[in-house]
């Protein structure tokens, strides 16, 4: 009887999903889909409760052995930000060998179900040394180009698959409403319309080569009070539906395989316990039939003891639990919770059914060791050129007093903390969770190196004094950060997370201006920063955000007119901190949404 109910439920979910897809013709009658239902049911029929619960757990690679994967029938393993198999510079082969060992163990388990290995490849395969580091989402929002983002998605999928990995915890589809949030740069922009154009294309690209994408963090992670990471959203359902839900509708239409739940709360209720949004809206109303994944240890933020926390999360509709270190006790507690009636068998079957469905759809059953050849798919010239094109298209020209294009006849002095530093251009989630603070990150070039290169056989050159130059370029920046470490109440060019060396660099700009030099300001940051009267000292000013490993070459392309400036702001640029207390107005906004000069505008 229970099986029949589950079958009816699964068919119902598939039907609802078909209704959310535009132009879907034969979706409901597709024989493939009834095959899927039968396959999932036959898998569930042969599994014990212990095997099913194992499938619902995701452990961190450093906290589980292949032997334990086998014993507990573990469904998934992840590498958290910066969690490498051995060392930061492991090769794609090292990664693939590790994944393969875990996979062999999963196949040797009593259920024999292949496992999913997941990583955060949020701007390229950023944990892996030598991977192409694409611009962060904030840049992709500024570029606003659906075809471009689709190509970046596919390139990322290729890099991920060349390490044997199947699951990507990307893209963040957060509609960030407050730039004081440390995850602003993971967002395409403040306006859901920007997401509308980009989310579907990105997911379709990211899900090529049987890689599974993850829309995150459901829902309203970008809507917390004061932009506090993991904070509380004090908004009505109607507001949340208007601002934060649309990207998920697009993601589901594009067939996204998984959705990660947000650490944040809505009106005091933690999202991980929110059955209205997870079950009623996401699964039933929108017909999402993939895996709902919890965030890192987020279950522990729910009230009650561990068993209660797990039951609350699972009953709210979470299918897989990201419990990096506590997966083993969770295994025991969930079994007890089912045996004592805290969680129904149907809920377990729905969760495990979805996990099996996604594994099957993505070829895990047919070819669990599937991998692309890294020599033609990882860190390739083609991907680097794509990252460079994307970076170049994302730069926003804020001020230009007839400065561009530069002439290769002019001598240039370049200074500032971000001028010779690829780690800064790449930002958080690069090599390590909080970003790579080294000037060299194993790929790409700094702005200075790119400039020196470009001027190799030109009359102009890079010089080391202001007085010897016609043009002075000053690159200021925020330091790399991720998640709550990036929260600040003072997002300004000399405050908050800004590089302490910005002040000295700015002083050089002022000195250069006094000497009558042409002075160009460049700002690399995870969000717009309050500029005070800084712009007055510059003849031109460019916001490059976090353009990644090819950002240096890309900027030089734009400086010399080899590529046009064409980025437009996907976030309003605040004029002062008043913006946060008084709200948006002509007085509090320096540059509005959509602003961005073109060189031939003047
Ligand atoms: C982040 C997620 C990420 C997860 C795994 C969490 O702290 O919120 O975005 O996918 O870690 O690294």
Residues 348 and 404 in one domain: no
What spacing in Å lies between the alpha carbon of 298 and ligand 1's midpoint? 10
User: Please, what sign has the CA dihedral across residues 307, 313, 319, 323?
Assistant: negative
SS3 161: helix
Q: Could you give the CA distance from residue 222 to residue 175 in angstroms, rounded to a whole number? A: 5
483 is catalytic: yes
Assigned domain for 490 exists:
yes
Q: Which residue has the tokens 């499938």?
A: 55
Residues 369 and 447 in one domain: no
Residue that is last in its domain, among 375, 403, 425: 375
Ligand 1 atom nearest the C-alpha of 216 is 9
What spacing in Å lies between the alpha carbon of 296 and ligand 1's midpoint? 6
| Low pLDDT (below 70) residues in the chain | 1-32, 601-602
Q: Which two tokens stand for residue 220?
A: 């309203």
Contact 96, 143 (CB under 8 A): no
Helix/strand/coil (H, E, C) string of 448-500?
Answer: HHHHHHHCCCCCCCECCCCCCCCEEEEEEEECCCCHHHHCCCCCECCCCCECC
Residues 429 and 350 in one domain: no
Assigned domain for 420 exists:
yes
Assigned domain for 165 exists:
yes
Contact 288, 214 (CB under 8 A): no
pLDDT value at residue 33 = 75
Q: Which residue has the tokens 């001598």?
A: 411
- Report the interhelical angle of 192-206 vs 146-161 (nearest 10°): 40
What spacing in Å lies between the alpha carbon of 552 and ligand 1's midpoint? 28
Residues 311 and 223 in one domain: yes
Assigned domain for 56 exists:
no
In this structure, the residue with its CA closest to atom 4 of ligand 1 is 296
Residue 433 CB less than 6 A away from ligand 1: no
Ligand 1 atom nearest the C-alpha of 170 is 10
The active-site residue, picked from 33, 483, 539, 553, is 483
pLDDT value at residue 23 = 41
Ligand 1 atom nearest the C-alpha of 433 is 12
Residue 218 CB less than 6 A away from ligand 1: no
Helix/strand/coil (H, E, C) string of 193-236?
Answer: HHHHHHHHHHHHHHCHHHCECEEEEECCHHHCHHHCCCCEECCC
Q: Could you give the CA distance from residue 537 to residue 484 in angstroms, rounded to a whole number? A: 33
Residue 80 CB less than 6 A away from ligand 1: yes
Residues 497 and 448 in one domain: yes
Q: Quickly list DSSP for 269-337.
A: EEGGG-HIIIIIIIIIIS---SEEE--TTGGGGSSSSHHHHHHHHHHHT--BEE-TTTHHHHHHHHHHH
Residues 277 and 420 in one domain: no
Ligand 1 atom nearest the C-alpha of 81 is 12
Residue that is last in its domain, among 375, 406, 429: 375
In this structure, the residue with its CA closest to atom 7 of ligand 1 is 296
| Alpha-carbon distance values, 511 to 468, 472, 506, 519 (Å) | 13, 10, 9, 10
Residues 559 and 487 in one domain: yes
CATH number of the domain to which 270 belongs: 3.20.20.300
In this structure, the residue with its CA closest to atom 8 of ligand 1 is 295
What spacing in Å lies between the alpha carbon of 81 and ligand 1's midpoint? 7
Q: Which has the closest alpha carbon to 474: 515, 523, 514, 426?
A: 523
What spacing in Å lies between the alpha carbon of 263 and ligand 1's midpoint? 9
Assigned domain for 389 exists:
no
Residue 61 CB less than 6 A away from ligand 1: no
What spacing in Å lies between the alpha carbon of 194 and ligand 1's midpoint? 23
pTM of the model: 0.94
Residue 186 CB less than 6 A away from ligand 1: no
Residues 298 and 178 in one domain: yes
Q: Could you give the CA distance from residue 552 to residue 38 in angstroms, rounded to a whole number? A: 53
* pLDDT tens sequence across 37-47: 999 999 999 99
Residue that is last in its domain, among 312, 340, 375: 375
Classify residue 96 by its DSSP letter: H
Q: Pocket of ligand 1, candidates 123, 172, 187, 295: which has the most ligand atoms within 8 Å of its Cβ, to mutate?
A: 295
Assigned domain for 381 exists:
no
How many domains does the structure of the chain reveal?
Answer: 2
Residues 358 and 399 in one domain: no
Residue 60 CB less than 6 A away from ligand 1: no
Q: Which has the closest alpha carbon to 140: 367, 326, 439, 389?
A: 389
Q: Could you give the CA distance from residue 262 to residue 266 in angstroms, rounded to a whole number? A: 10
Residue 216 CB less than 6 A away from ligand 1: yes
Residues 257 and 287 in one domain: yes
Residues 316 and 421 in one domain: no
What spacing in Å lies between the alpha carbon of 295 and ligand 1's midpoint? 6
Assigned domain for 352 exists:
yes
Contact 138, 105 (CB under 8 A): no
Assigned domain for 308 exists:
yes
Residues 453 and 341 in one domain: no
Burial grade of 485 (CB within 10 A; 0-12, 13-18, 19 or more):
middle
In this structure, the residue with its CA closest to atom 6 of ligand 1 is 296
The active-site residue, picked from 90, 190, 232, 295, is 295
Domain span at residue 248 reads 2-50+86-92+117-375
SS3 544: coil
CATH number of the domain to which 528 belongs: 3.40.50.1700
Q: Which has the closest alpha carbon to 426: 412, 407, 440?
A: 440
């Amino acid at each position: 009887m229970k099986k029949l109910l589950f079958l009816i439920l699964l068919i119902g979910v598939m039907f609802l999903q078909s209704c959310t897809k535009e132009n879907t013709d034969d979706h409901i009658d597709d024989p493939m889909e009834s095959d899927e239902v039968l396959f999932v049911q036959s898998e569930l029929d042969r599994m014990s409760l212990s095997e099913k619960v194992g499938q619902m757990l995701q452990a961190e690679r450093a906290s589980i052995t292949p032997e334990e994967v086998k014993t507990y029938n573990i469904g998934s393993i992840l590498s958290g930000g910066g969690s490498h198999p051995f060392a930061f510079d492991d090769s794609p082969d090292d990664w693939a060998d590790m994944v393969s060992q875990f996979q062999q163990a999963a196949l040797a388990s009593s259920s024999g179900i292949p496992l999913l290995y997941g990583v955060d490849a949020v701007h390229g395969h950023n944990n892996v040394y030598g991977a192409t580091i694409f611009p962060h989402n904030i840049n992709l929002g500024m570029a606003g180009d659906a075809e471009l983002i689709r190509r970046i998605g596919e390139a990322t999928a290729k890099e991920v698959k060349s390490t044997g990995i199947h699951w990507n915890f990307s893209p963040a589809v957060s509609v960030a409403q407050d730039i004081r949030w440390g995850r602003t740069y993971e967002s395409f922009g403040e306006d859901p319309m920007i997401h509308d154009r980009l989310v579907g294309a990105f997911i379709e690209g990211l899900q090529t080569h049987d890689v599974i994408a993850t829309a995150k963090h459901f829902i309203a992670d970008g809507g917390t009070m004061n932009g506090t990471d993991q904070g509380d959203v004090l908004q009505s359902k109607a507001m949340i539906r208007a601002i934060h839900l649309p990207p998920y509708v697009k993601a589901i239409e594009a067939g996204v395989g998984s959705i990660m739940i947000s650490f944040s709360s809505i009106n005091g209720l933690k999202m991980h316990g929110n059955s209205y949004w997870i079950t009623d809206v996401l699964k039933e109303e929108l017909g999402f039939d993939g895996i709902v994944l919890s965030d890192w240890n987020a279950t522990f933020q729910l009230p009650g003891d561990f068993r209660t926390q797990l039951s609350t999360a699972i009953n709210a509709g979470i299918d897989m639990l990201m419990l990096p270190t506590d997966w083993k006790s969770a295994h025991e507690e969930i079994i007890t919770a089912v045996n004592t009636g805290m969680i129904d068998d149907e809920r377990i079957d729905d969760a495990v059914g979805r996990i099996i469905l996604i594994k099957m759809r993505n070829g895990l059953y047919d070819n669990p060791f599937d991998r692309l050849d890294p020599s033609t798919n990882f860190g390739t010239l083609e991907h680097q050129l794509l990252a460079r094109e994307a970076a170049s298209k994302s730069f926003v020209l804020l001020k230009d007093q007839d400065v561009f294009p530069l002439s290769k006849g002019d001598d240039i002095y370049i200074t500032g903390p971000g001028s010779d530093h690829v780690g800064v251009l790449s930002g958080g989630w690069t090599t390590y969770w909080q970003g790579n603070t080294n000037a060299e990150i194993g790929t790409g070039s700094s702005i200075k190196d790119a400039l020196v290169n470009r001027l190799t056989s030109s009359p102009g050159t890079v010089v080391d004094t202001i007085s010897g130059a016609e043009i002075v370029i000053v690159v200021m920046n925020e330091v790399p950060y991720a998640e709550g470490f990036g929260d600040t109440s003072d997002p300004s060019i000399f405050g908050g997370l800004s590089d302490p060396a910005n002040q000295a660099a700015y002083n050089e700009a002022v000195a250069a201006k006094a000497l009558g030099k042409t002075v160009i300001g460049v700002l690399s940051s995870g969000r717009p920063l309050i500029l005070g009267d800084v712009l007055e000292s510059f003849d031109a000013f460019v916001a490059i955000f976090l353009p990644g490993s090819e950002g240096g070459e890309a900027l030089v392309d734009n400086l010399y007119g080899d590529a046009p400036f064409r980025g437009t702001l996907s976030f309003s640029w605040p004029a002062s901190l008043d913006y946060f207390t008084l709200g948006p107005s002509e007085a509090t906004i320096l540059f509005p949404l959509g602003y961005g000069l073109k060189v031939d505008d003047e």
